[in-house]
Amino acid sequence: MKKYIILILLLSVSSTAFATSKERSVKRGNVFYKKGDFAASLKDYQEALKVQPDSPAINFNLGTALYKDKKYDEAVDHLQKGLLGDDPVLQKNAHFNLGNALYQQGLNFGEDHVDQAIAALTESLRHFETVMNVDDKDADAGYNHTIVQKELERLKKKKQQHKQQNQQNKDQKQQDQKKDQQQGSDKNQEQQDQNKEEQQKPDQNQAEKSFSNSADQPKDSAESSQKDHQGGQKSQDEPKPQQGFSQNQDAADKAQQEHQENKESAAQAVPGQMTKEEAKSLLKQFEQGQESVGLLNFGQRQSVERPVLKDW
């Protein structure tokens, strides 16, 4: 029986020692916190939390010190555990500090991670609204709520602009791709048309050459036929050559020769007088019955006197 009493006493002493150690760590942590030495306060709060991990008050203190030390992610985790207590004042303060921690967390995400930032700020607003519902006269909660709401609206607007810009870029990219495809298609079609045209050139030249040859053939035949026809007509119209010279032809040649001689003699004749050769030639032509242009009348001339103009 004495053994059990001793064991109970030891447990009581140990429990009291742990409680004393926890309270001492929390009190020492509060002193460092008020001095602004947040790193030192964190160590004491963590020591106290080892004794009682589920304590809403110790988690609240630790979360608040982490917030002051700008460790916002860890602060959110411990401040959420501070909401598990039954103390309404502790719950109200935990909501307020959670609103601040989530706001700073959203700012750290920024526009590079706009979805995460919007989610954090939305949660921050919810905690400030909870505080305002509990105490509508909490001016600090109302002021913080306004700041967070403005930042949230700015990020949502920025997200919408990014979305529109991304859609425009996507549409522009699709248009550029369609344009490139169309240009490539037009270029290919142009190349195909050019190749087709080049392939048709030899056939066209051959066709033109064949057409030229076929067109020339009837022409040559026609010309040949026409020449043959003319040649035959000419051969029919022209009299066939006779052997020897006819008398008239002989006389004409002789007269032409004499006429040539007369012309040469006339060049040497005295003006106004007829040479013997001229007279002889004309007389001979007259006797043979050949008429010549400029033939003289050898009949007896009549004397024609001119009247005088003055009586002497």
Note the pLDDT tens digit of each residue in 11-58. Answer: 444 445 556 788 999 999 999 999 999 999 999 999 999 999 999 999
- Which three-class secondary structure state does DSSP give residue 292? coil
Contact, 127 vs 102, CB < 8 A?
yes
The larger pLDDT score, comparing residue 129 to residue 188, is at 129
Range 17-74 classified under CATH 3.30.590.10: no
**Tokens found for residue 20:** 């004393």
Angle at 53 between CA 103 and CA 31, to 5 degrees: 70
Look at the domain 87-169 and name its fold: Methane Monooxygenase Hydroxylase; Chain G, domain 1 (1.20.58)
> Where in the chain are all domains bearing CATH 1.20.58?
87-169
Distance between start and end Cα atoms, the chain:
223
> Where in the chain are all domains bearing CATH 1.25.40.10?
17-74
Which tens digit of pLDDT belongs to each residue from 218-274?
A: 444 445 445 454 554 444 444 443 444 444 556 666 667 766 665 655 555 445 555
Question: How far apart are the C-alpha atoms of 184 and 226, rounded to whole Å?
Answer: 62
For residue 301, how many other CB atoms are within 10 A of its CB? Answer: 7
Question: How far apart are the C-alpha atoms of 226 and 175, rounded to whole Å?
Answer: 73
- Under the banding of pLDDT at 50, 70 and 90, the label for residue 205 is low
Question: How far apart are the C-alpha atoms of 40 and 46, rounded to whole Å?
Answer: 10
Does pLDDT of 66 surpass 90? Answer: yes
Radius of gyration of the chain (CA): 71
For residue 236, how many other CB atoms are within 10 A of its CB? Answer: 7
- The confidence score (pLDDT) of residue 259 equals 61
